Amino acid sequence: MCSISRTKALIVPRFLTPKQIVPATLRWYSDESKATKTPLYNLHNKYGGKVVDFAGFLLPVQYSDLSLSESHLFTRKSASIFDVSHMLQTNVRGKDCLSWFETLCPVDLKGMKNGSSSLTVFLNEKGGIIDDLIVTKVNDENLYVVSNAGRLAVDKQHMKETSELFRKKGKDVHVQFFNTSERALIALQGPKAASVLQNVTDIPINDLMFMTSTLGKVAGVVCRVTRCGYTGEDGVEISIPAERAEEVTEALLQFDDVKLAGLGARDSLRLEAGLCLYGNDIDESVSPVEANLTWLIAKRRRAEDNFPGSSIILRQIKEGVTKRRVGIRMETGPPARKGAVLKDSKTSETVGAITSGCPAPSLGGNVAMGYVSETLKKSGTELLVNIRGKDVPCVVAKMPFVPAKYYVKK
Amino acid sequence: MVVCSVFRVTSRLARSQLSAQCCSRALYSTEHKPRFYTKKHEWVSVNDNIGTVGISTYAQEALGEVVFVQLPEVGKEVAAGDECGALESVKAAGEVYSPVSGTITDKNSEVESKPALINKSCYEEGWLFRVKLSSPEELKQLMDQATYDKYLEEH
């Protein structure tokens, strides 16, 4: 399983007046003036992207050729390209980079092979999740990290401060953040992603297993290709030098099996895949145990008991927690959105809340995630969710809602 | 309607589609009774004191593909501005407010089973409900087509 929550939560109720709906290329109001263009901004406009300010980046919600659910379903049956250049890409070098990174995360980097990647989390001293991220161990002296745009400032500060402290102890670690003028990141996702990519790369794609990473040429450009994603499908993320991002993307778009997809489809795809969105489903107030991500606490790290918040987290693993992240399924009715209150179906007592939810294009009906009392976490448990004042039946369900199609050895 | 959106919409492209549709739709309004609009982008068109209510092209564009519709029950009394329904798309939820006061006489069960009709035909097949007006003078508070078009342009 795995992957990462890659985008900042922006589910904020807004009174939608025309003033807030601004043609992307014509003018931006004050709060949007600082928004950053990704290296693919012109390409989005060329292909009819409905561009919005998302976590300070100008990104498409969808494109004019497909509705959100069409784009979602196209990804599940063919392949889509998502511009995820807003995500923070970080390069870490130095003899002590593994030990430094292990002071921030519960990951077992030392036990990982070169060229392999892992989902992990930056933890605070209380065991709360500062951000989730994917770290690639390029080799013992080089890491490549991709973390959330919505946590860009926090992550940079965290890595900068802790690496400085580490250096003061005489250790060798250097952190280099890429901004969008330097590197782009695209995700190519879907059952046809690998075969399409093979047409334009010298990387033997059949050898690149899920959660492994390599350098190679894509459309003649040296890129970092990592077999991972945020849709539950097979696919890759391709880190490209910014000035070549358009040509690489265009080369992939030559194939009829590939279309562009935006943030809208990305959100419904990741929800069906049961993947967390930072700021919605996880944040500093919850631990990986509560977030049902206990598997992120590596065995060796549990034994060593030396990651941030490890005493709290290890106690939680042993003694349990009071709330847990679960999947919520509704086969009919209105979708439950963030903030909707969950109630016990017998007593109508409040037992939790939805953290994200939407209609499920692949399944029909709706899917959601939320936190419920530990006693109610079992799948099949019937609950009520309050939507616009009405209690609607829903049921705790196993995640992923849609089976994952990752490229793993069988 | 008020859209609680994950994303703020819309690009130049959507905007240009919008004006094109407005022009073609305007032809219909000569065949039917004129539509009056709220600032929240509902429309009402009155025939024999029965108002048919829907949402505007602008609203359906902002909402995106509608996948779930909740409509008021027939017989319900509503006041102008009352929340009386909701529309859900993949990315957003929008409440529907009645543009006028009165009693609900009918709802469009076709859109309940085929919500996408609202995107396909928001002024015809995608109407939402009908209301028997208790205060027809309220229509004067609403915008006519020209005023609404101007309202969209200016805001």
Structure tokens at B139: 């229509």
| B32 pLDDT tier (thresholds 50, 70, 90) | low
CA distance B59 to A320: 47
Range of the domain at B48: 2-154
B28 vs A: CB within 8 A: no
| E strand or H helix at A318 | helix A310-319
Query: Which CATH number is B29's domain given?
Result: 2.40.50.100
Number of residues in chain A? 410
* pLDDT band of B3, cuts 50, 70, 90: low
Give the Cα separation of B66 and B111 in Å (integer): 10
pLDDT recorded at residue A303: 98
Three state DSSP letters for A63-129: ECCCCHHHHHHHHHHCEEEEECCCCEEEEEECCCHHHHHHCCCCCCCCCCCCCEEEEEEEECCCCCE
Q: Identify which of B62, B65, B154 has the shortest CB distance to residue A69.
A: B65
Distance to chain A for B22, nearest Cα, Å: 15
Query: A387 falls in which pLDDT band (50, 70, 90)?
Result: very high
This model of the complex carries an ipTM of 0.73
Q: What is the count of structural domains for chain B?
A: 1
Partners of residue A279 in chain B, C-beta under 8 Å: none
Residue A4 has pLDDT above 50, yes or no: no
Pick the CATH number of A18-83+182-272 from 3.30.1360.120, 3.80.30.20, 3.40.50.10680, 3.20.20.80: 3.30.1360.120
Return the closest-CA partner of residue A240 out of A98, A87, A62, A136: A87
Fold equal for A88-178 and A294-397: no
Which among A21, A263, A330 is the top mutation candidate for probing chain B, defined by the most B β-carbons within 10 Å of its own β-carbon?
A21
Enumerate the domain spans of chain A: 18-83+182-272, 88-178, 294-397
Q: Please report the pLDDT score of residue A19 as a whole number.
A: 30
Q: Which residues of A touch B (CB under 8 A)?
A: 10-21, 23-26, 45, 48-54, 60-62, 64, 67-69, 72, 263-264, 267-268, 333-335, 337, 358-359, 361, 388
Rounded to the nearest 10 degrees, the angle between the axes of helix A263-272 and helix A68-77 is 60
How far, in Å, CA of A285 to CA of A186, rounded?
Answer: 30
Q: Which residue of B7, B11, B151 is in closest CB contact with A263?
A: B7
A68 and A264 Cβ atoms separated by less than 8 Å: yes
Q: Measure in Å the smallest separation between the Cα of B54 and chain A Cα atoms.
A: 17
Q: B135-151 pLDDT, tens per residue?
A: 999 999 999 999 999 99
pLDDT for A8-63, tens place per residue? 333 322 333 333 333 332 223 334 458 999 999 999 999 999 999 999 999 999 99
B17: chain A residues, CB-CB within 8 Å:
64
* pLDDT beyond 70 at B2: no
Distance, in angstroms, between B75 CA and closest chain A CA? Answer: 19
Residues in chain A with CB shorter than 8 Å from the CB of B152 are: 18
Domain A294-397 has CATH 2.40.30.110: yes
What superfamily would CATH give domain A88-178?
Answer: Aminomethyltransferase beta-barrel domains (3.30.70.1400)
- Chain A environment of B86 (Cβ under 8 Å): 334, 388
Chain A, nearest residue to B153 by Cα = A18
Binary contact (B91, A264; C-beta < 8 A): yes
How far A47 CA sits from the closest chain B CA (Å)?
A: 10
Predicted pLDDT at B1: 65
- Could you say which residues from 125 to 154 on chain B have a Cβ atom under 8 Å away from some Cβ of chain A? 151-152, 154
B85 and chain A: CB distance < 8 Å anywhere? Answer: no
Smallest CA–CA separation between B155 and chain A, in Å?
Answer: 5
Provide the phi-psi class of A65: left if phi over 0, else alpha when psi is between -120 and 50, else beta: alpha
Q: What percent of chain A has pLDDT over 90?
A: 91
Please give the backbone phi and psi of residue B66, each rounded to the nearest 5 degrees, phi first: -80, 135
- What is the pLDDT of chain A when averaged over all its residues? 92
